[in-house]
Structure 1
Amino acid sequence: MTMDEIIAYVSGLDDGVLVLRPRPGDGTPEIAWGDAFFYHSPDGSVPTAVQPFATIVTKDYPDDLSSRLDRPDTFRLNVHVSKDDFARLTGHRPREAGAAGADPSAPDTVFPHPLYGTMGWLSIVNPGPRTGDLARELLRKAHETARSRYERRA
């Protein structure tokens, strides 16, 4: 899957999806330029006090170098998942020890997010044949959760 394919998939989930793509001149921090952030926001505004349900990062951040996103054509999909899905895919609950073993730079492999795994985030570097369908499933579920949360608050 390419970054554009992921963005197109998420954008097609429903009319309430907001894709934020920071760029030079839009007031966002330079470090976020080129990345993508996915929210459920039917009015099209970036929600306050709400985390995105998924992100795509295209570069290493100063405190997050383990995925080696400095390689050409490399990006990482990050998705907030349920505790059950996290356990099903990693063998442990988000806050439990046991995240070791997965190489956070290996492409087409699911692993706990290097920094936010304990909060229920999973990651995939360059989703491909092994993880493409799973990535779509997790994105759909994450969006459904974000939409339900939005509807409860509205």
Structure 2
Amino acid sequence: MTEPMLLPETDPAIEGLWVAIETARAQSYPLTGAAFRLTRPPQTPYEALDAAARELDFYPLGQHWIEVPRRIALKIATHIIAHDLAYPDEIVPAAQATELAGRVLALLGARARYFTNGAVSGDFAVYDVQGNEVIGWRSLSEAPFDHGLFALDDRLVIVLWAEDAP
């Protein structure tokens, strides 16, 4: 039997971060926050991302994951903490959302890579690591809108995901 690639990460500090995000967003739908420990190196990043997606009952995207630079990953994470996807209402003040998003990205090392499913909403453009603007998205769930961030380094896969309905 093959060892699983991912195990749930049970670090209390990470659990505390998810609680802080959920508490800040108490006036809106909760986000999915998850951390998985890699038990072996994936053959490709997509293998680890898809394994994490399946663990969360999301659809895997395989080669359709879009890799984004860290600065765009921070914008995506900040946006989904601060706002609903379908409506422009601010749920969490921008400074607080930026701080929480920075804490999410800080869970990973300097060689982390960041991925998303496309560009759903927000007042900023999403660019991939080659500098190309991303238009549209591929859903990971049954929700009309879903967006967020899957990220990994050599130890962890981190997920911060939003599902919204119009």
Question: Is this a same-fold pair by TM over 0.5?
Answer: no
- 1 or 2 for the larger relative contact order (CA 8 Å, sep ≥6)? 2
- How high is the TM-score relative to the length of structure 2? 0.27
